[in-house]
Amino acid sequence: MFQVTVALPSGYSEKSSIRQSSTVGDLRLLAQKSFQRGFLRLVAADHHALDPTMTLQAAGLEDEDHCTAIVLEAKLAAAAKAFALFCPGGDRVVTWGEPDSGGDSSDVQNLFNGVQQVQATSEALAAILADGSVVTWGEPDSGRDSSEVQDQLKSVQQVQANYYAFAAILADDSVVTWGFPDSGGDSSEVQDQLKGVQQVQATSEAFAAILADGSVVTWGEPDSGGDSSEVQDQLKGVQQVQGNDYAFAAILADDSVVTWGFPDSGGDSSEVQDQLKGVK
């Protein structure tokens, strides 16, 4: 039997008695029960993360050794008919729900390595990995099929999703899109404008990107906010953009608001425009 002390960063520790043939995962389970914490990562004295599938001896642990338990925050992503549970930095994503809509990730489970973020369209999910690549699964027409842009999905910093398409911001502040073309999966018409992108927001079938100079570029279904041509000259000094299903609202540097998209869904704010001052 090994005696191994596991400590939280706060200094609180517990000593566990465990068989030499046990795995790091077995030790982690004991620590989770002792600390009453749901998700932990064990770190050795030399600061390297311990592989939960390895035996204690194979991981380099010996009798009377100490290791640190890092508490991980579990996150949940949801598609229309499926869920994905993950811990940032972990190598596993647990999915359930309608199999073809993202509930079954078995085909890509071995690709998950240091998952950073998971986003979902209505029937597909995309995970950003530690190396900046992206893994997708679910319904092909809703964004599962990223094969045409896979070689471009490198150094991905953030992924945004609408109902049927994804948009990824890369380290060079450019954008890569995939999914249903008319819903924003095809950004070829505005691709040369998508430079210096700071943020991307979405309605149900369109995207809006805020650029470094405070301007906005939109694409996707026109009736869902993909066409901002009528207000384009007003979209200057944009600080924030928010979208609902069919319209966008942008807060400008002077604390006023500009809206576009389907009029009855908030795209027309003319009746309250004189009240939209000092908006925070």
| Length of the chain as a residue count | 280
The runs of H, that is alpha helices, within the chain are: 24-35
169 strand-pairing partners: 158, 175
C-alpha to C-alpha distance for 129 and 126, rounded to whole angstroms: 10
> How many domains are contained in the chain?
2
Per-residue pLDDT at 64 exceeds 90: yes
131 part of a folded domain: yes
**67 within a domain of the structure (yes/no):** yes
Does residue 95 lie within any of the structural domains?
A: no
Task: List the domain range (segments joined by +) for residue 40.
Answer: 2-71
Q: Are residues 141 and 230 in the same domain?
A: yes
Q: Both 62 and 156 in a single domain?
A: no
Within a domain: 193: yes
Residue at 8 is within a domain: yes
pLDDT score at 169 = 98
Say if residue 39's pLDDT is above 90.
no
Q: How far is CA 154 from its chain centroid?
A: 15
- pLDDT, tens digit, 9 for 90 and up, residues 184-218: 999 999 999 999 999 999 999 999 999 999 999 99
Q: Is residue 233 part of a domain?
A: yes
Tell which of 32, 53, 71 closes a domain. Answer: 71
Do 122 and 63 share a structural domain? no
Of the candidate ranges 70-74, 159-163, 175-179, the one whose mean pLDDT is the lowest: 70-74
Our CA dihedral for 158, 211, 264, 81, rounded to 10 degrees, sits at -10
